[in-house]
Amino acid sequence: MVKPGSGVPEKIRESTRFYSYFKDCIGAIDGTHIPAIVFEHDTNSYSNRHGTISQNVLAACNFDLEFIYVISGWEGSAHDSNILADALSRNNGLKSATRIFGIFKSRFKIFKTAHPFPYTTQAELVLACAGLHNFLRKECRSDEFPVEPENEVPQPSSEQVYGDNNFDQIFGTEEQQRANANAWRDIIANRMWSDVDHIHKNKS
């Protein structure tokens, strides 16, 4: 993986619009589900919210769309907050929190479908291809292909995926986290609009 820089990224440092809000940001985190094949007795654990079998992958990338950190192999049913907590708790884990997986999956078509390798190999393939992606970004800058949208699988009803018993518990947590994220985004947006309004008033 690429080591994060200690200074302010160039794209933030040179932008008067973004510097004051994102000067402490070294990159962005993102997650995705990659189709997987597991033993039959593990299918419930690896069944994601779309009802398909997958591994849940979390990654952090810099502003050049290079991977800084990747954690793969989590069950498809795992909540993103649990994966993030695991990444933060590891000795070599994520230290800080652009979407990169659209490019990643367009570049490596192998992740469009599941393959009959042992599950540990399926997880390690993600790490290997993340390293290869970084190499290609540095040496070739070859991202000349359409980025395919994520979440192409239609979502079944929540009862079909989770059942009635734990539906409220799971989605209550997700909805609360979404509300918190939206509130944080709105705070940043309001600060930015306030600054723009202040600039216009000073000009007039």
Q: Are 79 and 175 contained in the same domain? A: no
In terms of Cα–Cα distance, which of 65, 70, 67 is closest to 142? 65
Q: Are 172 and 150 contained in the same domain? A: no
Higher pLDDT, 130 or 1: 130
Q: Are 82 and 44 contained in the same domain? A: yes
Residue 153 tokens, joined: 């699988």
C-alpha to C-alpha distance for 178 and 80, rounded to whole angstroms: 11
Q: Are 145 and 184 contained in the same domain? A: no
Q: Are 113 and 203 contained in the same domain? A: no
Q: Are 35 and 84 contained in the same domain? A: yes
Q: Flag whether 140 is in a domain.
A: yes
Q: Are 137 and 55 contained in the same domain? A: yes
Count of domains observed in the chain:
2
Q: Flag whether 126 is in a domain.
A: yes
Mean pLDDT check: name the lowest of 17-21, 44-48, 49-53: 17-21
Q: Provide the domain limits for residue 145.
A: 10-156
Q: Are 59 and 152 contained in the same domain? A: yes
Estimate to the nearest angstrom the gap between the alpha carbon of 84 and the chain centroid.
10
Higher pLDDT, 170 or 63: 63
Q: Flag whether 5 is in a domain.
A: no
Q: Flag whether 36 is in a domain.
A: yes
Q: Flag whether 161 is in a domain.
A: no
pLDDT at 164: 40
pLDDT digits (tens, 9 = 90+) for 145-188: 555 555 544 433 333 333 444 434 443 455 666 677 777 777 87
Residue 47 has pLDDT above 70, yes or no: yes
Q: What is the mean pLDDT of the chain?
A: 76
Q: Are 69 and 132 contained in the same domain? A: yes
Q: Flag whether 50 is in a domain.
A: yes
In terms of Cα–Cα distance, which of 100, 99, 64, 69 is closest to 84? 69
Q: Flag whether 87 is in a domain.
A: yes
Q: Flag whether 2 is in a domain.
A: no
C-alpha to C-alpha distance for 49 and 32, rounded to whole angstroms: 12
Give the mean pLDDT of 108-118: 87
Q: How many residues does the chain have?
A: 204
Q: What is the DSSP letter of 6?
A: S
Q: Are 43 and 144 contained in the same domain? A: yes
Q: Are 172 and 144 contained in the same domain? A: no
Q: Are 138 and 177 contained in the same domain? A: no
Q: How confident is the model at residue 56 (pLDDT cuts 50, 70, 90)?
A: very high
C-alpha to C-alpha distance for 9 and 83, rounded to whole angstroms: 26
pLDDT digits (tens, 9 = 90+) for 5-32: 777 777 778 887 778 777 777 778 888 9
